[in-house]
Structure 1
Amino acid sequence: MMFEFLSEFDPFIAEHIARYGSAGKGVTSYLSFTTCEQFIQLMADSVTKQIVKEAKAAKYYSISVDSTPDSSHTDQLAFILRYVKEDGLPVERFLRFIPNPGHKSEQLAEVVFTTLKSYDLDIANCRGQSYDNASNMSGHYRGLQARILERNPLAVYIPCSAHSLNLVGKHAAESCPEACSFFGLLQYLYIFFTASTHRWEILQEHLSSVPNTLAVKRLSDTRWSAREDACRSLNRNWTQVIEALTKIKENTTEAPGTCKEAEGLLNKIQRLETALMSGLWSTILDRFGAVSKKLQSIGIDVGIVGELYESLIQFVRETRDIFPTFEAAAMEKSVVKDNESKRKGVQARKGSATSSKTQAEVAQENFRINTFYVICDNLVAELMRRKTAYDSFFGKFKFITDLSKTEPSAISQHANNLCSPYSKDLEQECFVDECLHFRSYLINSSAEDTSVLAMSRMIRERGLQSIYLNRVKNYLRSRMGEERLNSLAVLAIESELTKSLDYDELINSFATQRVRRKPL
């Protein structure tokens, strides 16, 4: 069927099918299913051999693994290699999917060691490992990273930067009741409008009047970009969402329960606190989303990760100081102009510092201190804590990126310190001299030093969930075996290497395997 489809665009295949397609027994056509599978396997093996060859030429490499259930409910572990090519650019290569690896750290460690051994890659040359923050992966004592460190103390563990950023946002979203209520409202809005095609049509009718609108989005526990989309959608279509809910609420033909649901959502959206949360989280998540995309780019290194986290810390600190700006914007959008605590009649205690303040001022201060500041402070604290992991590692290599700006004595000290843990990889005297000579070259030639030690460029994890693991969620996955899955996955993911294959050599290999003439 596949060849028949291709024959519509390829005259050579069309002629071949016309001549041999129904020739009968005894005539070789090479159109059988097994022939196609053999070619796929040969191509995948060639791509894998090229990856292993490059990794061995680079000598040092890092690994990343992550797992997810596929459409047939089989747990699939994606195994990724990362190394630096001769041109100094880091590459990330997919090796294979491994079915049913288990979830215990000892099972995962055995899979890692066995896989590396099967490709003749020495675990002693592994210089980095990067996973998500699950305890079976990142545990300091019994996690996968700890078991690999037992075999190779130089295989330093660096948490996945994108996953860590997701956890930062998750903790902040759960840091106070108002934040939890806001994201619950976003999810409830999506459920309410998508539960009925009639409600969805009403919403779309109101959104169509505004250019570049966004439909309401559902939340996701793992993808914070989904929360960004949901928050941006509400913030941008604030008036249209309220109008749609009002129309449903006032529609006498709607079921009473539906009208009550619409009324409840309307009351929640029209709160001043909701408008404030919408503006704050739209601003924060928009910046977080841009940084998250940058963290998932292939060319990023650990040093840039630290800089991006630092930029977020400064951004959140600046955001913390502009509460009046968010409040003014919320006042313009919200029908209710008072905080809920004022409407409930919250009074300041007599004799306290706030007893002379008006009820509105007390309510405003209560929201600012117990919600706005809590969210911002939680974000800063989590970002700083997770940034420490990247700074502590990159600090060993940072001097190499600033050779022209560093004094010779400091360079010698840093170089000697770096040689201590990597004594088998670096010759101390030669390395120190090379750093000093290179500094002189940079100063004399006015060249911009963009060099980063290979190790800092090897250790980084892109979002495995979105790039590799989503491929096994396809319904076609349940219709093929594990061997075919791995072959097609390698060919598709490493398409650049697939296109560069020597197909004449593949045809010769195929002919050698299929030859039926036996020497006597």
Structure 2
Amino acid sequence: MAKSLKGSISKLFNAKIQKSGSSSQVEEASGEDMNEVHVELNESVVANEKFSEEEASGEDMDEAHESEGVDVANDEFREEHNEDNLRDGGVNEEASVSMLDLEKDVDVNYDPGLWGIINDTKKDLSHEEQMSIVIRCVDVEDASEVKVEEFFLGFIKVDDTSGLGLFKRLEDTLVDLKLNIDDIRGQSYDNGANMKGKHQGVQRRLLDVNPRAFYVPCGCHTLNLALCDMAKSCVKARNFFGYVQKIYTLFSGSTHRWDVLKTYVKGLSPKALSVTRWESHIESVRAIRSQPEELRDALIEISNTSKDDVVMAEAKGLCFNALEDFEFLDKLVYLELILFFEELREDGFLDLIEEGKELAKKVGIEPAFTVKRVVRRKKQFDEDVGEDANESQSPQEKFKVTYFYHIIDQALTSLKDRFEQFQRYEEIFGFLLNGKFKSISEDKLMEHCSQLQSFLEYKEHCDIYADELFQELRYLKTLLPKDVTKSIDILNTIKSYWEEGGFQTVWVTYRILLTIPVTVASAERSFSKLKLIKTYLRTTMSQERLSGLAMISIENEYLDKLNYDDLIEDFASKNARRSNFLGVG
């Protein structure tokens, strides 16, 4: 499956180059002047290889032609033939037929279930929702080693962003590409409700069609959202990050103030908070935590020298309310210890206080919580005296209850909820990870193999059989070197045996395991190319051209592997047929 799937991608890549590159160069060609077509197409292919440099420069092609002195007649000629393409279908339509002609390359019976799907969506500058489609598979074509590959298949315009709308668009695209939806064994998306929804999301709808398409939420998005949940969990937490954001805003709002900052702060610069950028909150805290005295000196300098009354007051306020406040400094330390939630909740508070005191000494402030006057109200005769218990707490105890415990509990709850799918993944595939099967009992191993068979069984079809997997793993225990524990290393170790007919079930099992995505990073990276390709000067670019140029840019390593002669021959013959049909030449 992986080999034929890779052939599909190569075929699709050829078609994308045909679609995106050279329609204007061959409009005049007839069946008799094939040599000219060859020359022009060769130039076009070379130009496509330089796409990353030329497209990212942001120069429009028409502007380039005008700067070279192309006359008005050529512009009229180009417009006339663009109209012909829109009216009659043109080369793009013929190339689209080639793009979808993938039946010869995909053999769904070659090997079961060896690819996963990765999706993400983003609005472009034309305010159109673009869905990036990436597939993940295990490549065994290389004779030297087995590799896990992720391939970008293109951008798809989406009009309906509901779970049903996105799933239908994805399903139609897979049908067009002749990719069997029943062969999906892994799916991963971001944490949007329309994607991950348990009842109406894309993952649920795909599971209804193919229960073996195991869903794994993006690990990076999951951690990021857990952190955001903590940051919003209580008033004190929101106030804290409000001060962190204000410190960045104050310095970044003026080049002069930023110069003052760089004069005093030689290490990390303050960072802006972001809801979507991963780990932005931790980066922001770390910049202040590592150099509080330097930042305080910079704020004092601005408050003493600024001619703007508002800036002066804000700098003084931040200096007093943040960097000269023991509670704020304590929170800085706490947010650095965030990885030790369970132990931290039970034993970490006193350690937190001690580190906070050390930080306070560096800044030169009293390591004590501010005592705030409590406004008391008159008690009614039927009120319980116990309701005043909180008012009798010390400032340190209040900080512990209203901030420390609150955020720790929110972190634990959020992580448990968001990592529910990862726990399910561990239950099913955990015995295969890091070579764990080598150290568990035979009874336990057989139990895991049976559970995996049950998971990979659907409609009387099963990818693996428990008895065969159990016997092969028993033998593999004695064969594997002690230092071989990673799944990809195990596959590379048994590859030679598999080629001779051995370890067939283990081979399929580990390939399925490795096709399950863990992040949507590849789809996210494709949006970086989207911004370079579809700039504000190119907002009218067609969807076919956008997707084609994106594929050429992202999968550029395939440019060196293309057979240009076959590509040119195919493209030129189609253009010649079109020219004869229209009576051109």
TM-score category of the 2 structures, normalised to the smaller one: 0.7 to 0.9
Aligned pairs for 1:222-371 (under 5 A) are 222-251=276-305, 254-269=307-322, 270-284=324-338, 322-342=351-371, 344=373, 362-371=394-403
The residue number in structure 1 matching 2:200 is: 142
Between 78-87 and 45-54, report the one with greater CA deviation.
45-54
Match for 2:477: what amino acid?
L
Provide the rounded CA distance (Å) in 1 between the counterparts of 2:399 and 2:341.
23
Between 70-79 and 408-417, report the one with greater CA deviation.
408-417
CA contact (8 A) 2:299 2:316 kept: yes
Does 2:119 match 1:82? no
Superposition deviation, residue 222 in structure 1: 0.5
Does 2:106 match 1:106? no
Cα distance change, pair 109–52 in 1 and its aligned pair in 2 (3 A): farther
Give the count of matched residue pairs: 455
SS of 2:361's equivalent? helix
SS of 1:435's equivalent? helix
What do you get for the CA RMSD once the two structures are aligned?
3.9
Match for 2:326: what amino acid?
L
Provide the rounded CA distance (Å) in 1 between the counterparts of 2:245 and 2:547.
37
Between 447-456 and 121-130, report the one with greater CA deviation.
447-456
Superposition deviation, residue 129 in structure 1: 1.8
Between 399-408 and 145-154, report the one with greater CA deviation.
399-408
CA contact (8 A) 1:58 1:85 kept: no
Provide the rounded CA distance (Å) in 2 between the counterparts of 1:70 and 1:514.
32
The CA deviation string for residues 66-102 of structure 1, in whole angstroms up to 9 with x for no partner, is 1111123221111111122225532221111112342
Cα distance change, pair 484–445 in 1 and its aligned pair in 2 (3 A): closer
CA contact (8 A) 1:65 1:131 kept: yes
Provide the rounded CA distance (Å) in 2 between the counterparts of 1:56 and 1:315.
52
Aligned pairs for 1:144-223 (under 5 A) are 144-207=202-265, 210=266, 213-223=267-277
Q: 1:415 aligns with which of 449, 463, 488?
A: 449
Cα distance change, pair 493–76 in 1 and its aligned pair in 2 (3 A): same
Superposition deviation, residue 215 in structure 1: 2.2
SS of 1:395's equivalent? helix
Match for 1:247: what amino acid?
E
Superposition deviation, residue 169 in structure 1: 0.5
Cα distance change, pair 445–170 in 1 and its aligned pair in 2 (3 A): closer
Match for 2:416: what amino acid?
M
Provide the rounded CA distance (Å) in 1 between the counterparts of 2:278 and 2:469.
44
CA contact (8 A) 1:403 1:449 kept: no
The CA deviation string for residues 387-430 of structure 1, in whole angstroms up to 9 with x for no partner, is 332121331223334332222233233222322243312353xx
The residue number in structure 1 matching 2:423 is: 391
Provide the rounded CA distance (Å) in 2 between the counterparts of 1:193 and 1:150.
52
SS of 2:419's equivalent? helix
CA contact (8 A) 1:248 1:262 kept: yes
Between 435-444 and 445-454, report the one with greater CA deviation.
445-454
Provide the rounded CA distance (Å) in 1 between the counterparts of 2:321 and 2:188.
42
Cα distance change, pair 442–183 in 1 and its aligned pair in 2 (3 A): same
SS of 2:530's equivalent? helix
Superposition deviation, residue 119 in structure 1: 0.7
Aligned pairs for 1:450-465 (under 5 A) are 450-451=486-487, 453-460=510-517, 461-463=519-521
Does 2:564 match 1:503? yes
Superposition deviation, residue 458 in structure 1: 1.7
Aligned pairs for 1:36-75 (under 5 A) are 36=44, 40=48, 59-60=112-113, 61-75=115-129
Moved over 6 A (4+): 29-35, 45-52, 311-318, 516-519
CA contact (8 A) 2:106 2:179 kept: no
The CA deviation string for residues 208-250 of structure 1, in whole angstroms up to 9 with x for no partner, is xx3xx22222111111332233222222332222122212212
Cα distance change, pair 367–445 in 1 and its aligned pair in 2 (3 A): closer
Provide the rounded CA distance (Å) in 1 between the counterparts of 2:103 and 2:552.
12
Provide the rounded CA distance (Å) in 2 between the counterparts of 1:313 and 1:493.
43
SS of 1:115's equivalent? helix
Aligned pairs for 1:114-125 (under 5 A) are 114-125=172-183
Match for 1:410: what amino acid?
K
The CA deviation string for residues 336-366 of structure 1, in whole angstroms up to 9 with x for no partner, is 325444254799xxx99x99xxx9x922222
Superposition deviation, residue 166 in structure 1: 0.8
Provide the rounded CA distance (Å) in 2 between the counterparts of 1:51 and 1:439.
39
Cα distance change, pair 312–154 in 1 and its aligned pair in 2 (3 A): farther
| Unmatched segments (≥5 aa) in structure 1 | 1-25, 288-310
The residue number in structure 1 matching 2:407 is: 375
The CA deviation string for residues 87-146 of structure 1, in whole angstroms up to 9 with x for no partner, is 553222111111234211111111011010011011111122211222211222222222
Provide the rounded CA distance (Å) in 2 between the counterparts of 1:180 and 1:336.
24
Provide the rounded CA distance (Å) in 1 between the counterparts of 2:262 and 2:107.
52
CA contact (8 A) 2:129 2:157 kept: yes
Provide the rounded CA distance (Å) in 1 between the counterparts of 2:464 and 2:292.
63
The residue number in structure 1 matching 2:530 is: 472
Q: 1:426 aligns with which of 463, 478, 481?
A: 463
The residue number in structure 1 matching 2:470 is: 435
SS of 1:468's equivalent? helix
Q: Using CA pairs below 8 Å that are at least 6 residues apart, which structure has the higher relative contact order? A: 2
Between 104-113 and 261-270, report the one with greater CA deviation.
261-270
Superposition deviation, residue 442 in structure 1: 1.9
CA contact (8 A) 1:93 1:494 kept: yes
Cα distance change, pair 135–491 in 1 and its aligned pair in 2 (3 A): same
Cα distance change, pair 144–36 in 1 and its aligned pair in 2 (3 A): same
SS of 2:394's equivalent? helix
Provide the rounded CA distance (Å) in 1 between the counterparts of 2:103 and 2:560.
12
SS of 2:474's equivalent? helix
Provide the rounded CA distance (Å) in 2 between the counterparts of 1:28 and 1:316.
76
SS of 2:279's equivalent? helix
Provide the rounded CA distance (Å) in 1 between the counterparts of 2:196 and 2:286.
33
Provide the rounded CA distance (Å) in 2 between the counterparts of 1:344 and 1:224.
39
The residue number in structure 1 matching 2:81 is: none
The CA deviation string for residues 160-186 of structure 1, in whole angstroms up to 9 with x for no partner, is 111111111011111222221121112
